[in-house]
């Protein structure tokens, strides 16, 4: 199985790029954000906890996200691998993923990091808020907190994956087609 991680700040285009990539390479796209939004919409107990945290720009506890993800791995059929979008977000999650995959004799194939500057993050998140009617993307203070949280808690993963020779940075600027072409060129070279 292939285990790709699509990585980058909020608004970098991870979800946009994940769909064509998952289709082209027969990967199951797992968006932890989409999974949590589904739980919120369904009004489940997990959804209520997640909504309160997300509304403030905070992360959902690692164990909750890991349990959802790992059960999805176990249930998947007919795919050549997985494309993880929004996971891992912390060193602890990366270590849990490494441990889980290691038990199965597997490992992360590559981390595809979409890089964009903070100013562009703001613009894209605000635009997404209008298109998708996402309240968590509409408030400037929440956006600022999400960017700050990304820099503090998620960026340390760059070094973690660099040390393992798995980290690959791609410019997330430009059209969807241009960024897709950069991703395809990288995946083809691996």
Joined together, the tokens standing for residue 107 give 């490992």
Quote the number of domains for the chain: 1
Residue 105 lies in a domain: yes
Quick one: average pLDDT of 60-64?
79
Joined together, the tokens standing for residue 122 give 């703001």
**Residue whose C-alpha is closest to residue 153's, from 23, 10, 37:** 10
Quick one: average pLDDT of 132-144?
74
DSSP string, the chain: -EEEEEE-STTSSHHHHHHHHHHHTTEEEEEHHHHHHHHHHHT-HHHHHHHHHHHTTPPPPHHHHHHHHHHHHHH--S-SEEEEES---SHHHHHHHHHHHHHTT----EEEEEE--HHHHHHHHHHHHHHHT-GGGT-HHHHHHHHHHIIIIITHHHHHHHHTT-EEEEE--S-HHHHHHHHHHHHHH-
Decide if pLDDT at 136 tops 70: no
pTM of the full structure: 0.81
Residue 96 lies in a domain: yes
**What is the rounded distance in angstroms from the CA atom of residue 125 to the CA atom of residue 136?**
9
CATH number (domain holding residue 24): 3.40.50.300
Residue 157 lies in a domain: yes
Q: What is the pLDDT of residue 135?
A: 67
Residue 139 lies in a domain: yes
User: Which residue segment(s) compose the domain that 119 sits in?
Assistant: 2-181
- CA–CA distances in Å: residue 163 to residues 114, 115, 149, 158, 166: 18, 19, 22, 9, 8
Quick one: average pLDDT of 131-136?
72
Decide if pLDDT at 131 tops 90: no
Sign of the alpha-carbon dihedral angle for 87, 88, 92, 96: positive
Decide if pLDDT at 172 tops 80: yes
Residue 186 lies in a domain: no
Q: What is the pLDDT of residue 57?
A: 67
Mean pLDDT of the chain: 87
Residue 88 lies in a domain: yes
């Amino acid at each position: 199985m292939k285990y790709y991680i699509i990585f980058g700040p909020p608004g970098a285009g991870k979800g946009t790029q994940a769909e064509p990539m998952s289709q082209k390479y027969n990967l199951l796209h797992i968006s932890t954000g989409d999974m949590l939004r589904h739980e919120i919409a369904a009004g489940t107990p997990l959804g209520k906890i997640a909504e309160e945290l997300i509304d403030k720009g905070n992360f959902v506890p690692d164990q909750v996200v890991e349990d959802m993800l790992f059960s999805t791995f176990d249930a998947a059929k007919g795919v050549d691998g997985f494309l993880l979008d929004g996971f891992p977000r912390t060193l602890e999650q990366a270590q849990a993923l490494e441990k889980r995959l290691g038990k199965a004799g597997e490992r992360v194939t590559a981390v595809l990091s979409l890089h964009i500057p903070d100013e562009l993050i703001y613009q894209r998140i605000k635009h997404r808020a209008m298109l998708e009617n996402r309240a968590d993307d509409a408030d400037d203070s929440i956006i600022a907190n999400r960017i700050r949280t990304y820099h503090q808690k998620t960026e340390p993963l760059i070094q973690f994956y660099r040390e393992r020779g798995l980290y690959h940075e791609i410019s997330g600027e430009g059209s969807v087609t241009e960024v897709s072409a950069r991703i395809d060129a990288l995946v083809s070279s691996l």
